[in-house]
Structure 1
Amino acid sequence: MNHLIVYAHPRKESFNHAILETAVRGLRQKGHEVVVRDLYAIEFQPVISSSEILGGIGEDIEQEQEYLKWADVITFIYPIWWTGLPAIVKGYIERVFTYGFAYRYVNGEQMGLMKGKKAVIINTQGKSHAQYAEMGMDKALLLTSDTGIFEYCGMEVLHHEVFESVPSSDEATRLAWLKQIEEMTSKA
């Protein structure tokens, strides 16, 4: 199976990077093909241009779309910042999941064009699940990412894992979370 991982965290020492390494290792051990698009490492430009809004895309976006076409499963690994996607991930979605590629409208009805693709979302956050639930942000995050982006484009969301209170978590907790990632990738 072909796995594309879209990864976004600027620090190699982050827990997000440990998640990435664990996922890649687990998938490759199971014999899967894996491509990682580290948005910071490739210096992905998240700002959409006026020509892109009108439908003109450059080679960089065509390349990203080729990776998406190739993939059976697309995994997004990123932290929750300001109760949402980091700007670089939001920019990736805006620039790469274009009209006519990821979705379109036919007779006024929206159609997801990425049917048959599976999505896995892995997030870290500074707050606890309880704090986000108290504010209603837990449901808002799922609605905006899972429903509003991935399902909208026709993808099936297989998993959405959120690791909570990461900055204050201890090593044993983090190791247990990485074990969860290992188990998830062993079932991929």
Structure 2
Amino acid sequence: MSKKIAIIQGHPDPSESHLNFSLAEAYKAGAEAAGHEVKVITVAKLSFALLTSEEEFDKHPPVTDIQGAQDVIKWAEHIVIFYPLWLGTMPAILKGFWEQVLRPGYALSTGDRNQWPKKLLSGRSARIVVTMGMPAFVYRWFYRAHSLKNLERNILSFSGFAPIRSTLIGAVQNLSERQRKVWLDKVYRLGQKGQ
């Protein structure tokens, strides 16, 4: 059964010369080959300001690239997020993107702040693909994948996404061409499955 899939490219460099872009393109190719419909959001190509106050966060975003991204995420049944690990977490531009997109009334119900908000993005699944310089097992076991868990639990799950799966690709600077191809093939197959 085909799915509507949104790919969110979170690399801060829009030049498309990084492994993250190759991985996202492999996922997209696999998904489209299997009949899934795919839309791509490249965060570094969007125009938006960082939020600096609670008042800004509580407002609806102006008619900008953010509303377009919200429309794509609302359309999607599954989202796939690609980003490189920077200083142990997602790049600042990707964090700023989530702050802009997941506003009250879009990701969570508004109203009485004394009540638990309703998750407005339920019914959607997600996959997070993170590349990093360190070996992936070091990030997962020694550093306990803290930023990945933050994205999974405090951002996506809090908004209603489930299930949320992750793929960690470590030591990317040392990948041989064969290893790189193995990862691209794995991500292609994930795209085919819509996972």
CA contact (8 A) 1:3 1:73 kept: yes
* 1:47 maps to 2:50: yes
The structure showing larger relative contact order (alpha-carbon pairs under 8 Å, at least 6 residues apart) is: 2
Q: Matches of 2:191 and 2:140 in 1, distance apart?
A: 27
* Counterpart for residue 16 of structure 2: 12
Q: Matches of 1:54 and 1:72 in 2, distance apart?
A: 26
Q: Secondary structure at the match of 1:113?
A: coil
* Counterpart for residue 58 of structure 1: 62
* 1:24 maps to 2:34: no
* 1:112 maps to 2:119: yes
Distance 1:169 1:57, change over 3 A: same
Q: Matches of 2:155 and 2:82 in 1, distance apart?
A: 15
CA contact (8 A) 1:5 1:36 kept: yes
**Normalising by the residue count of structure 2, what TM-score does the alignment of the two structures yield?**
0.87
Aligned residues: 186
* 1:84 maps to 2:84: no
Structure 1, gaps ≥5 residues long: none
2:37 to 21, 33, 40: 33
TM-fit CA distance, 1:39: 1.4
**Normalising by the residue count of structure 1, what TM-score does the alignment of the two structures yield?**
0.90
Indicate the RMSD between aligned Cα atoms, in angstroms.
1.8
Structure 2, gaps ≥5 residues long: none
2:134 to 102, 127, 133: 127
Distance 1:127 1:186, change over 3 A: same
Name the amino acid aligned to 1:14: H
Per-residue CA deviations over 1:85-111 (Å, capped at 9, x if unaligned) read 111110110000111210136642133
Q: Secondary structure at the match of 2:88?
A: coil
CA contact (8 A) 1:44 1:88 kept: no
Q: Matches of 1:36 and 1:156 in 2, distance apart?
A: 20
Per-residue CA deviations over 1:110-160 (Å, capped at 9, x if unaligned) read 33211001111111011112432453342x133201111111111013421
* 1:142 maps to 2:148: yes
Q: Matches of 1:49 and 1:157 in 2, distance apart?
A: 31
Percent of aligned positions that are identical? 25
By percentage of residues, which structure has more strand? 1
CA contact (8 A) 1:119 1:156 kept: yes
